[in-house]
Chain A
Amino acid sequence: MPKKQLKNLTEPMYYILLILNSPNHGYGIMQTVEEMTEGHVKIGAGTLYTLLSRFEKEGIIEALPEEDRKKNYVITKRGKELLEEEFQRLNRLVKDGRDILRGGA
């Protein structure tokens, strides 16, 4: 049975991929997400680890050679495509919302 492919990204997934446009390690990702969202999005260590393993298995991110026993990750081409698709989807959502809720303003 083929594994369920990622369709829509959850908030934490979106932020992780966004941050990994430049190489970063687990704890760095957590801190950046928290700063970027002003604490609005928090990712638990277990959740982050699970997501990173899953992204790596699916070829969405890749691990870079270790530095100071720290494992850095970076987004792949496939990951960028996925992120771009999600970015456009979110844009469409915002545009549609703006059209109706703000009268196209």
Chain B
Amino acid sequence: MFGKKDRNRNEKSAGAKRQRKRVYWGYSILDYKGMEAYFEKMAGEGWMLEKIGELWATFYRETPKDLQFSIDVFEGSGILTPEETEEAREYRELCEKNGWHFVTSIKELQIFYAPAKENLTPLQTDEELEENLARKKVWRKDFSTSILVFLLTAGLVIFTRIRPAHQMDEYMGNIIYFFYPLMLIPTIIALIRSLLWIRKVKRQGLPEKEVETFFTGRKRQLLINVIATLVLGFLILGIVLDTLYNPHANTLSSLFPALLGITVGTTIRLTIQKIGKKKDDGIKFVIIGFLVMFMILGGFHYYRELQIESGIGDWDPNLIEEIPGDIEAYSMERILDSMGELELKRRTFPVLGQSFAVPKHYAQYETWEVEGRKWEVGIRTYETRSPWVAENIAEGYLDFQMGGILPWLGENWGEMEDLKEAWDVDAFYMTEGYPAILIKQDTHLWIIEGTHRVGEDPIEKMKAPEIERLIEEILGKHHYL
């Protein structure tokens, strides 16, 4: 199989540094019979298995050999059990004495080899016992993981669809809304695979040493991993874009507990498996892991509080910003003109969360003194890509303002049919207590907030000439009443 050149290189490297190669490790634990066939094929090609990591398997150069591999599910294994326990050592010793050489272990699986020509007693000689062990240690773990991941993914997808508004004005939210459902494909494949495996085992017993096929081998796992990696890539892109364009977005800090959980969880698992020596080391490491996690979360919470406090300290009551060139700003001076003597006290134009769906989202906040009375107004503008996005944000905003699932804590908003018709817009909502108006027209959404109260009657309030003039300016048209 190998040319002269290969053999020479191999001889030269003997004694010197071994030639190694790393191979993408895509097998699911259910494929352990397929792994045996794969290791045998590699050994025949002159690559001997050295170790298996989370993503890669390492092989070293060896003269091509005809070997038989046997992968055994170890009775003494478990999520919280270290790989190198006294029990594991005893068990491997027993296998060695029977002619099976130990190579490495990966989670529940112990990998052995022997020359192919040797007629050894197999590691498992009782089919029923072997099947029970595989079902208990391998399938249950695979199935519970698959169903948990599927339920979490489906839950998130459904949740973001119930209230899509929250996903619209941040890049991360857009990516979760539009791309995250792709994750359903790998989770469903993994779940179906797990169910098909157990169905086949129930009918025909454990699979024979399988030759790699699309549905049994690494190609299926590759598909799963490619989609998952793609979605992960998009999520990272979302984080980067939010960090660059939405400095106020809490993307990173909202992801922080999840990232911390995953990191601590993985560290605990690897620590138990690779460093632990005794069976009950697992519980010890889990307790330490949780303590570390709570300490970090506590620290993070404290840091956020400090940040918020320092942010309040920066608030300048006399800040007057210039009108930026790239946004629609309205001349409040003209609008309030008829009210009497005016003085501008504060004016800001904060850029708010933007995304693929909402390329522009900004506000204009102004404080005026009118005849000795403070008059505040805020106009928040969403310029979206489609009426559907604007509608969802409007619904989400109203839902939030009305208290969501706790309506008694919310404000009472109502749709103003007559004003909607009068202004010829898609939606016109206003509230009684907290003075605010929401207007949606086509791809645009405006939320006007402020102390624009004139009379006690809210309808009267909205008919106040100043408000009318402001809406006139926002919409660029007169109403038709």
Verify that A and B bind, or say they do not: yes
Q: Which residues of A contact B (CB under 8 A)?
A: 10, 12, 26-27, 30, 42-51, 53-54, 71
Tell me which residues across on chain B come within 8 A of A49, comparing CB atoms.
74-76, 90-91, 94
Q: Which residue in A10, A12, A42, A50 is a CB contact (below 8 Å) of B75?
A: A50
Tell me which residues across on chain A come within 8 A of B386, comparing CB atoms.
none
Q: In the complex, what's the smallest C-beta–C-beta distance from B97 to chain A, in angstroms?
A: 5
Q: State which residues 301-354 of B face A: CB under 8 Å.
A: none
> Top 5 nearest A-B pairs by Cβ distance?
A46-B123, A44-B125, A45-B95, A46-B72, A50-B75
Are A50 and B129 in contact, CB atoms less than 8 angstroms apart?
A: yes
Tell me which residues across on chain A come within 8 A of B90, comparing CB atoms.
26, 49, 71
Tell me which residues across on chain B come within 8 A of A42, comparing CB atoms.
121, 125
Q: Contacts A26-B90, A42-B121, A71-B90 hold; do A47 and B129 have CB atoms under 8 A apart?
A: yes
Q: How far is the CA of A71 from the CA of B74 in the complex (A)?
A: 18
**Chain A residue with minimal CB distance to B125?**
A44
Interface of A is mostly: helix
Tell me which residues across on chain B come within 8 A of A27, comparing CB atoms.
94, 97-98
Say yes or no for B399: interface residue by CB 8 A criterion: no
Q: State which residues 166-204 of B face A: CB under 8 Å.
A: none
Say yes or no for B100: interface residue by CB 8 A criterion: yes
Q: In the complex, what's the smallest C-beta–C-beta distance from A104 to chain B, in angstroms?
A: 35
Q: Which residue in A10, A26, A46 is a CB contact (below 8 Å) of B124?
A: A46
Are A47 and B123 in contact, CB atoms less than 8 angstroms apart?
A: yes
Q: State which residues 126-146 of B face A: CB under 8 Å.
A: 126, 129-130, 133
Tell me which residues across on chain B come within 8 A of A30, comparing CB atoms.
94, 97-98
Q: How far is the CA of A28 from the CA of B403 in the complex (A)?
A: 73
Q: How far is the CA of A42 from the CA of B126 in the complex (A)?
A: 10
**Chain A residue with minimal CB distance to B92?**
A45
Are A12 and B94 in contact, CB atoms less than 8 angstroms apart?
A: no
Q: How far is the CA of A42 from the CA of B123 in the complex (A)?
A: 10
Q: How far is the CA of A50 from the CA of B100 in the complex (A)?
A: 17
Tell me which residues across on chain A come within 8 A of B76, comparing CB atoms.
49, 53
Are B94 and A50 in contact, CB atoms less than 8 angstroms apart?
A: no
Are A44 and B121 in contact, CB atoms less than 8 angstroms apart?
A: yes
Say yes or no for B247: interface residue by CB 8 A criterion: no
Are B94 and A47 in contact, CB atoms less than 8 angstroms apart?
A: no
Say yes or no for B122: interface residue by CB 8 A criterion: yes
Tell me which residues across on chain B come within 8 A of A50, comparing CB atoms.
75, 129, 133
Q: State which residues 91-116 of B face A: CB under 8 Å.
A: 91, 94-95, 97-98, 100
Are A45 and B126 in contact, CB atoms less than 8 angstroms apart?
A: no
Are B122 and A44 in contact, CB atoms less than 8 angstroms apart?
A: yes
**Chain A residue with minimal CB distance to B73?**
A46
Are A51 and B94 in contact, CB atoms less than 8 angstroms apart?
A: no
Q: Which residue in B73, B87, B91 is a CB contact (below 8 Å) of A45?
A: B91
**Chain A residue with minimal CB distance to B99?**
A45
Q: Could you write out 12 A-B pairs with CB less than 8 Å apart?
A: A12-B126, A42-B121, A44-B126, A45-B95, A45-B100, A46-B91, A46-B130, A47-B123, A49-B76, A50-B75, A50-B129, A50-B133
**Chain B residue with minimal CB distance to A48?**
B94
